[in-house]
Amino acid sequence: MSRRLSAISARTALPILAILLTMLVVTESAWSQSRFPPPEFESGYTQPTTTRPHGRAGWADYTDLAVLAGALVLASAATLWLRRRWVIVLISVASLGYFGFYKQGCICPIGAIQNVAMAVFSTDGYVIPLTVAGFFLLPLIAALFFGRSFCAAVCPLGITQDLLALKPLRVPTWLDRALSLLPWVYLGAAVLFAVTGSAMIICRYDPFVAIFRLVPLGKIFEGFARNDPELNPAALSGRLDLLILTASFLLVGVFIARPYCRYFCPYGALLGLMSRFALKRVRITPTECIQCKLCENSCPVNAIRTPTPQAGPKERLAGKGSLAVMLAILPVLIVGGGVLGGMLGTTMARMHATVQLADRVRLENSGAVKGTTDASEAFRATGESAESLYAQAAQIESRFTSLTKPFGVGIGGAHLFGAFVGLVVGLKLVGLSIRRRRNDYEPDDASCISCGRCFATCPMEQARRNGTKVTLNQKSESCPT
Amino acid sequence: MSDQQQIDKPDAPHATDTWRAIGFAVAAAAALLAVVAITVLVLDRPSIRGKDFLATSELAQMKSQFAQNPKNQPLAKQIRQVDLDLRRQYFSHLTLARYGNWLLLGCLVVFVISVKAALALRPKPPRLGAKQPDFLGELRRAHGRRWAVTAVATLMIAGAITPTAIEAYRRMTTVPPPPPHVADPALVAKYWTQFRGPGSQGRGAYDNVPLTWDAPAGRNILWRSPVSTPGKSSPVIWGKKVFLTGGAKDKREVLCYNADTGGLLWSTPIRDLPDSPASIKEPYEETGYAASTPVADDLHVFALFSNGDLACLDHAGKIIWSKALGQPNNPYSHSSSLVMHRNLLIVLWDQASLEDYMSKIFAFDAQTGRIVWQQRRGVSASWATPAIVRIGQADQLITAANPWLISYDPSNGSELWRAKTLEGGDVASTPAFADGVAYSICAESFLAAVRTDGSGDVTDKLLWQSDDGLTDLTSPLTNGKLLWTIETGGKLTCFDAKTGKVAYGKELEKVFNASPSLCAGKLWLLSMKGEMFVCQTGREFKMLHTNPLGEGAYASPAFQDGRIYLRGSKNLFCIAAGAQSPPTSQPAGQDDDGHEESE
Amino acid sequence: MSKPDKKLTRRDLLRSGARGACVVGLGGMIGVLADHSDGQQMVWQIDPAKCNNCGKCATNCVLEISAVKCIHQYAMCGYCDLCTGYFTAQPSGLNTAAENLLCPTGAIKRTFVEDPYYQYTIDEELCIGCGLCCKGCNAFGNGSLFLQVRHDRCLNCNECSIAAACPTQAFKRVPANKPYLMKLAEDAE
């Protein structure tokens, strides 16, 4: 100890003097100051190298894509051909284990919407990894041909809700239709915020990812492969607001089946759209529907549509009248939505970190607010002028409020978002005015999530499973009426 | 779920009832355990995540106490114990988190499995649909659903618009904050509020200043007051107050004298600022602790010392705010003086060498000391004071350092133009300015005349440059027509300000530290021995008067209405025509150490 | 009670048409995305030029122990006796007493090499990424200690929670095959 203290070499004195310099009023990071030149060693000491551990191997991501494709194929087969709920449950538990706990729920196709939007629209050169694009496209393609088998048996968020739907209650249809606006609004907002570089709101407000991160299964498996297990769990005491969100969704999910899937999931909106045109639709009965009504209340998400009643000419006219009105107000809603959206542009721009910083710096500089934040202090330390920050923030805001100026009126991302919401509202109103003639009990293509709970209630399905042949106009043992 | 076999009567006792009960009980237990686990995990000192866990106030207090007496061993032991306890707590929290999360997940899984198993034991029969198809009813329901959609859409819009609406309302109704306090510019021009007066140009506005005096004899000396703490800074004046700074190893202070009587009104020591370096580094002997001249406005006076202590005091001597900028890395110690622009205090903080890139310029809010803007400067350490000049409707803040002469917009720090006229030099000369032209000078480069209406790098657009009369310490002086420089060795050079041609050069054979001044149409030169030479301002040299001070002088004089304030090495003098003071007993020609002057 | 219609109805035709249009649309999107892609997975990394060692890396990671760790670029280190990243400002002695050390978890180890040089290594198991040592090293030393995301620990979330909270916006996406941004270019991959 005394040897070290008494040997005040230049190497010791200089740092002490440097310490007397004390921190300046604002700290700054030195890039490489080289205050003390690297020494030349005489004792044969070899400098260690800094380790640079890589993450997952690149090919592992393509494995994920393959597993996704396989799961989609299996799930579709289970729903459309095998028609057994327990097979679907098995596949879904396996998917939950892989995509949920092993991959920690990231990257999921829902979040991939934002990445794809950034790749297609953004100007800052975002490069999308092929696997992310694949994650976005594969379930959509599957839905286009086989319906929403992704939702039932592949999506970890959906499966979590499905497993927890212990006592599903029926949501009144008017409420169900009204709330189904929300996924489209969420989709529009997510695309807007992603493209403007503000935030990835789907990821930020994902209610179920906290469960998947509870235990680091992915790292454990990879750790075992590399002989270095590390039990590093998610920080439950971190974001309290997200914990409350997760707990709320879990609790609500016990009584209302799949609340996130039905009323929030933006990808679900897209899948529903694709599913409308599916090549092979989900049918409750394997052969024909005998209108026994046994399946009517078996769907946890109320996707089963009843046969429509006959209508006389007078009633049909009344129906057409409403349709005409809804079609007429559709353009009004689009334009109105655009105008209202535009009013929100400045507020929406506040989602972006740079705009928040510019606001804060402006408030501090004008004396309207006391104290500083970490971000404003860090900004002042860079020596950049406030004016250039304001200019950057204004440029980001212009992405929301005025990307182009046709006829002198600024149209920005917020206007487009508003117009999109107007379009969705208008189309939903039109959809509610269209009468679709149905003779059978069948699931609504857009909202059926292919879970297969309805199969077991159908007597024709039971007959198929028993091997009993049923011919119509003939009472059989399995017909309860 | 399992295939349906038979429809059971729901209320009859069933063989699977006990299993159901067990299933639900297990589920309830798992749920309860999960809730407990969550609560414990969430409540378990969330504040100790990350780096905060050692930053408790208790430990911080003990550490600061320890820093003041590092020999206190029991305190050190205490610190180590607290530190160890906190670290133990942290690691046990980690373990709790690790196993707690596994437990939570396990509880969720058990809960789901047991509930599903219990429910599956007694499957419910399907509920028959009861709805009768009814077209008019369908129409009505469709109508209702459309209204529901409309209602939700309206709610969403209302929810989205509300923050914007509230914001707009708030903006309409809030009173804007009052504009920052700015001293009356007419008064700033009237008084001598900074180094070398308004704009750092050394030009006095009064014609009635006394031209002759004899300090040892007391003729025309209104008063002479001893200054207890020495310093090279110049006096600044606001109203009836004269402000000085002085510094020594054990004390730095701001002094205030009555302008009419010379009585010391107050002296405030500046010490023990938080973040101030523990031990003060000795400055370069010729510069001293208090070389920076303070700056005053109607409410404040600001002072800066060689160790980086910056203080704002009111006119009664109370410290309003202070900052320790830290010991600057400056080979000759910091000497740039403070300047003000409206409500901003501008501090030039040039340090170290060019490669170190440590130089900065700050603008502090005068009232609060908050940094309003700052800029890094690609220059090495310098000793000149900035000059804030008004050109048309705009102001420019002109700074001189090696190698750049840079002009900024003083309100926001944005750079206007720069010229590379000071390369290789130790720059101590404040830039001169008149008629839209700025003049920079240093002994190792040249004297340059630069137009101030350019932008960017204007080095190749100089009006003229000269290698004559180069100074290393004093600042040049100009009235727009002529430009004067006085070298430390005593050579006075007069240039034509427009063309740069030398009008005359005169060896005065005296030593000069103070920069020349212009007042009442005369050229004022103050030698290091304290002699003020009053000369004519023409294209020929003519000395009109020589006025002895009786002691050495380094600081620049301040010209006021009918008065001149001068700081000598020992005293502060107020010179006014017609006044008479008792003669001083000290013979002329000695500096403050009592040694004979040698030239 | 009706047989499902086997004939091609107008509705089926419309569906096929819409399906075809969607296929074309998705195909077009594949083309656009392939254009914007180089097949590389992107991962998060800290730009050491922007990082100001504020400490948020330790508190904002979704993992309990942050995936951000301090790393030591030995080629830049001065091997000082009084390391300003190891010791506090004004240590009472150059020893391991608690009042003299900066690191809250004891992750930085000091070993004697030869007079007067000491080697400083980071034990990643203990490091929490708080940046206190980096701050000291950058302010008064050579800046050889700086924070980087460690990819054997990072989950590579689509939106990094630390990136969203970083006051200097120092986080950026880098290709997965070159996931580290070191200070010394010669040491780069």
- Burial environment of residue C179 by CB neighbours within 10 A (0 to 12, 13 to 18, 19 or more): buried
d(CA B107, CA B109): 5
Residue A384, C-beta contacts closer than 8 angstroms, at least 6 positions apart = none
- Chain A hits for C34, CB-CB cut-off 8 Å, are 130, 133
Q: Cβ of B571: how many Cβ atoms within 10 Å?
A: 20
Tell how strand B339-341 and strand A304-305 pair up: unpaired
Stretch B144-154: mean pLDDT, rounded? 89
Does the CB of B274 have a partner CB in chain C at under 8 Å? no
- Among A242, A204, B47, which Cα is nearest to C59's? B47
d(CA A289, CA A296): 12
3-class DSSP assignment, residue B126: coil
- Chain C hits for B83, CB-CB cut-off 8 Å, are 98-99
- Chain B hits for C58, CB-CB cut-off 8 Å, are 49-51
Does the CB of C119 have a partner CB in chain A at under 8 Å? yes
Q: Supply the pLDDT for residue A478.
A: 54
Optimal mutation site among C82, C102, C150, C173, interface A, most CBs of chain A within 10 A? C82
Does the CB of B60 have a partner CB in chain C at under 8 Å? no
- How far does A153 lie from chain C, in Å, by closest CA? 23
d(CA A339, CA C120): 61
**Whether pLDDT at B284 is above 90:** no
d(CA C127, CA A171): 50
Taking the CA atoms of A287, A291, A293 and A299 in sequence, report the sign of the dihedral they define.
positive
- Whether the bond between C116 and the residue before it is cis, its omega within 30 degrees of 0, is yes
Residue pair A128/A116 in contact (Cβ under 8 Å)? The answer is yes
Q: Is C160 left (phi over 0), alpha (psi -120 to 50) or beta?
A: beta
Residue of B nearest to C57 (CA): B50
Tell how strand B344-349 and strand B339-341 pair up: antiparallel
d(CA B546, CA B553): 14
Optimal mutation site among B1, B2, B3, B379, interface A, most CBs of chain A within 10 A? B3
C-alpha separations of A314 from A309, B93, B140 in Å:
14, 73, 15
**Whether pLDDT at C165 is above 50:** yes
DSSP percent split of chain B into helix, strand, coil, nearest 5 = 25, 30, 45
Residues of C with CB under 8 A from a CB of B: 55-56, 58-59, 64-66, 90, 92, 97-99, 104-106, 128, 130-132
Residue type, B133: P
- Neighbouring subunits of A (3+ Cβ pairs under 8 A): B, C
Residue pair C136/C82 in contact (Cβ under 8 Å)? The answer is no
Nearest to C23 among A48, A144, A219 (CB): A144
d(CA B369, CA B344): 9
Contact B148 A315 (CB under 8 A): no
Q: What is the DSSP string of B494-537?
A: EEETTT--EEEEEE--S---SPPEEETTEEEEE-TTSPEEEEE-
- Chain A hits for B273, CB-CB cut-off 8 Å, are none
Q: Supply the pLDDT for residue C99.
A: 81
3-class DSSP assignment, residue A46: coil
Residue pair A107/A132 in contact (Cβ under 8 Å)? The answer is yes
Does the CB of B281 have a partner CB in chain C at under 8 Å? no
Q: Among all chains, which residue has been given the structure tokens 């969607």?
A: C22
Q: Which of A121-130, B293-302, B406-415, C25-34 has the lowest mean pLDDT?
A: A121-130
- How far does A33 lie from chain B, in Å, by closest CA? 8
d(CA A56, CA A351): 32
CA of residue B433 relative to chain centroid, distance: 25
**Interface ipTM:** 0.88
Residue type, C71: I
Two tokens at B510? 């005296």
Q: Is A149 left (phi over 0), alpha (psi -120 to 50) or beta?
A: alpha
Compute the count of residue pairs across chains A and B with CB atoms less than 8 Å apart: 197
Optimal mutation site among C158, C166, C178, interface A, most CBs of chain A within 10 A? C158
First to last CA, chain A: 96
Q: Tell me phi and psi for residue A131, to 5 degrees.
A: -65, -35
**Whether pLDDT at B335 is above 50:** yes
**Whether pLDDT at C1 is above 60:** no
d(CA B510, CA B528): 8
Nearest to B42 among A243, A306, A347 (CB): A243
Apex A261 CA angle, A259 and A265, nearest 5: 115
Does the CB of C186 have a partner CB in chain A at under 8 Å? no
Q: Tell me phi and psi for residue B310, to 5 degrees.
A: -115, 130
Per residue in B336-346, pLDDT (tens digit) is 999 999 999 99
Residue B231, C-beta contacts closer than 8 angstroms, at least 6 positions apart = B244, B245, B246, B247, B288, B289, B290, B291
Residue pair A131/A62 in contact (Cβ under 8 Å)? The answer is yes
Q: Which of B279-288, B434-443, B474-483 has the lowest mean pLDDT?
A: B279-288
d(CA B495, CA B484): 6
- B377 pairs with which residues across the strands? B359
Residue A296, C-beta contacts closer than 8 angstroms, at least 6 positions apart = A304, A306, A441, B127, B128, B129, B131
d(CA A406, CA A394): 20
Residue of B nearest to C58 (CA): B50
Residue of B nearest to C60 (CA): B50
Q: Which of A457-461, B282-286, B349-353 has the lowest mean pLDDT?
A: B282-286
- Among C41, B550, B111, which Cα is nearest to A251's? B111
Taking the CA atoms of A33, A37, A39 and A40 in sequence, report the sign of the dihedral they define.
positive
- Chain C hits for B63, CB-CB cut-off 8 Å, are 99
- Chain C hits for B84, CB-CB cut-off 8 Å, are 98
3-class DSSP assignment, residue A358: helix
- How far does A414 lie from chain B, in Å, by closest CA? 12
d(CA A32, CA C76): 8
Q: Supply the pLDDT for residue B597.
A: 42
Per residue in C6-35, pLDDT (tens digit) is 566 888 888 889 999 999 999 898 888 888
3-class DSSP assignment, residue B491: strand
3-class DSSP assignment, residue C63: strand
Residue type, A202: I
- Neighbouring subunits of C (3+ Cβ pairs under 8 A): A, B
Contact A120 C33 (CB under 8 A): yes
**Whether pLDDT at B5 is above 50:** no
Residue of A nearest to C141 (CA): A35
Give the pLDDT band of residue C89 (cuts 50, 70, 90). confident
Q: Tell me phi and psi for residue B186, to 5 degrees.
A: -65, -40
Two tokens at B75? 């305190």
Contact C58 B278 (CB under 8 A): no
- Chain A hits for B104, CB-CB cut-off 8 Å, are 214, 236
**Whether pLDDT at B13 is above 70:** no
- Chain B hits for A238, CB-CB cut-off 8 Å, are 46, 49
- Neighbouring subunits of B (3+ Cβ pairs under 8 A): A, C
- Chain A hits for C30, CB-CB cut-off 8 Å, are 133, 137
Q: Which of A290-304, B130-144, B240-254, C49-63 has the lowest mean pLDDT?
A: B130-144
Q: pLDDT means per 10 residues in chain A (481 residues)?
A: 40 45 38 70 84 83 93 95 93 94 88 92 82 93 94 94 90 91 95 93 91 81 57 66 87 93 96 93 90 88 86 76 90 92 88 92 78 84 82 91 81 92 94 85 92 91 86 58 51
d(CA A60, CA A67): 10
Residue of A nearest to B125 (CA): A457
Supply the mean pLDDT for chain B: 86
Two tokens at B412? 């926001």
**Whether pLDDT at B26 is above 70:** yes
Residue pair B540/B523 in contact (Cβ under 8 Å)? The answer is no
Two tokens at B223? 């008063």
Residue pair B291/B334 in contact (Cβ under 8 Å)? The answer is yes
Residue pair A104/A213 in contact (Cβ under 8 Å)? The answer is yes
d(CA B443, CA B156): 72
Does the CB of C56 have a partner CB in chain A at under 8 Å? yes
Give the pLDDT band of residue B519 (cuts 50, 70, 90). very high
Q: Supply the pLDDT for residue B125.
A: 74
Q: What is the DSSP letter of A102?
A: I
d(CA C65, CA A232): 6
Q: Model's pTM, two decimal places?
A: 0.72
Contact B281 A20 (CB under 8 A): yes
**Whether pLDDT at B130 is above 90:** no
The H or E element that residue C172 is part of is strand C171-175
d(CA A253, CA B529): 92
Residue of C nearest to A28 (CA): C52
Q: What is the DSSP string of B8-29?
A: PPTTS--TTHHHHHHHHHHHHH
Domain spans in chain C, listed from the N-terminal domain onward: 42-187
Q: Supply the pLDDT for residue B49.
A: 56
- Whether the bond between A159 and the residue before it is cis, its omega within 30 degrees of 0, is no
- Chain A hits for B373, CB-CB cut-off 8 Å, are 385-386
- Among B579, B534, B572, B588, which Cα is nearest to B224's? B572
- Chain C hits for A291, CB-CB cut-off 8 Å, are 1
Contact C99 B49 (CB under 8 A): no
**Whether pLDDT at C58 is above 80:** yes
d(CA B160, CA A185): 11
Residue type, A61: D
Optimal mutation site among C68, C99, C105, interface B, most CBs of chain B within 10 A? C99
**Whether pLDDT at C78 is above 60:** yes
d(CA B310, CA A49): 45
d(CA A478, CA B379): 95
3-class DSSP assignment, residue B41: helix
- B572 pairs with which residues across the strands? B225, B567
Residue A180, C-beta contacts closer than 8 angstroms, at least 6 positions apart = A262, A263, A428, A447
Give the pLDDT band of residue B386 (cuts 50, 70, 90). very high
